[in-house]
Amino acid sequence: MSANGSTPPPLRIDLHCHTEASHDCVTPLKVIPARLIARGIAVQAITDHDQIWGAQKLRDMVQDNPDWRGKLDIIIGEEISTAEGEIIGLFLKERIAPGLSPEDTVKAIKAQGGLVNLPHGFDPLKRHRLRPTARERIAADIDIIEVFNARISNMKWNTAAADWAKEHGKLMATGSDAHTWADLGCCAVESTWNAAIDSPANLLAALAGAKVNGKWTHPAWAFALKSVFWVRQKLGFGVRG
């Protein structure tokens, strides 16, 4: 309960999105914090493809701005291109090189004290999904399963991910997988956790019992929107909701 006796709003957490640091995204870092706060996101993992500099810079921007500080926590992550598909590392201190085996990628994440998050792992139309055989090999070391990806080809693959997470006793999370400004904050897990998410332990505690909430976008429409935003940004028109 809050000081006035009312129930505080849930803490909204998303663990997968992209910025201009990704090769396939042009969303400027400077517009992201205000957008996330406006959409009610309190914790956002920045998971650019094979890069962490965008996440590091964004975290520093939030900490240095009194309008954002205390309203938004940034988790430094990376969507890592392994030899058999993508794995997300969270709470990273150093970039992990692409091209390693899934096992070596997991070892590199754990060596930094990070968490292993499996994104969009059950959609056969996702070209860079982690191969099912690799998923089974590293199953014991996966900490979090992305059970709602807003850019999945069909919602049934999110259901498959949730079923696998339940079967293996894994914590569940969302991934807006945002590649445009408009997609930021489109989904989240809603948690009753009432402290900062500043460590892997706190994130795991917050995800326990959290509720998944999100809006799915058909991939054809998502691609069209991404193309429009890409052209607008390249032409210097900036972003628009």
pLDDT of residue 8: 76
Question: Residue 43 to residues 15, 53, 54, 131: CA-CA distances in angstroms?
Answer: 8, 18, 16, 29
If one counts every other C-beta atom within 10 angstroms of the C-beta of residue 181, the result is 23
Q: pLDDT-derived band of residue 1, with 50, 70 and 90 as boundaries?
A: very low
CATH class of domain segment(s) 11-234: alpha beta
Q: pLDDT-derived band of residue 7, with 50, 70 and 90 as boundaries?
A: confident
Domain ranges of the chain: 11-234
* In the predicted structure, residue 201 carries a pLDDT above the cut 90: yes
* In the predicted structure, residue 239 carries a pLDDT above the cut 60: no
Average pLDDT over residues 95-106: 98
* In the predicted structure, residue 141 carries a pLDDT above the cut 80: yes
Q: pLDDT-derived band of residue 215, with 50, 70 and 90 as boundaries?
A: confident
Mean predicted lDDT score pLDDT of the chain: 91
Average pLDDT over residues 176-192: 93
pLDDT of residue 45: 98
Average pLDDT over residues 196-222: 86
* In the predicted structure, residue 87 carries a pLDDT above the cut 90: yes
- How far is residue 95's CA from residue 41's CA, in Å, rounded to a whole number? 25
* In the predicted structure, residue 121 carries a pLDDT above the cut 80: yes
* In the predicted structure, residue 6 carries a pLDDT above the cut 90: no
171-175 sheet: strands from edge to edge: 171-175, 144-149, 115-118, 85-90, 73-82, 43-46, 11-14, 187-191, 211-214
* In the predicted structure, residue 41 carries a pLDDT above the cut 90: yes
Task: Tally the residues of the chain.
Answer: 241
DSSP E strands: which ranges in 3-107? 11-14, 43-46, 73-82, 85-90
* In the predicted structure, residue 241 carries a pLDDT above the cut 50: no
Average pLDDT over residues 64-72: 96
Average pLDDT over residues 2-20: 83
Long-range contacts of 3-7 (CB under 8 A, 24+ apart): none
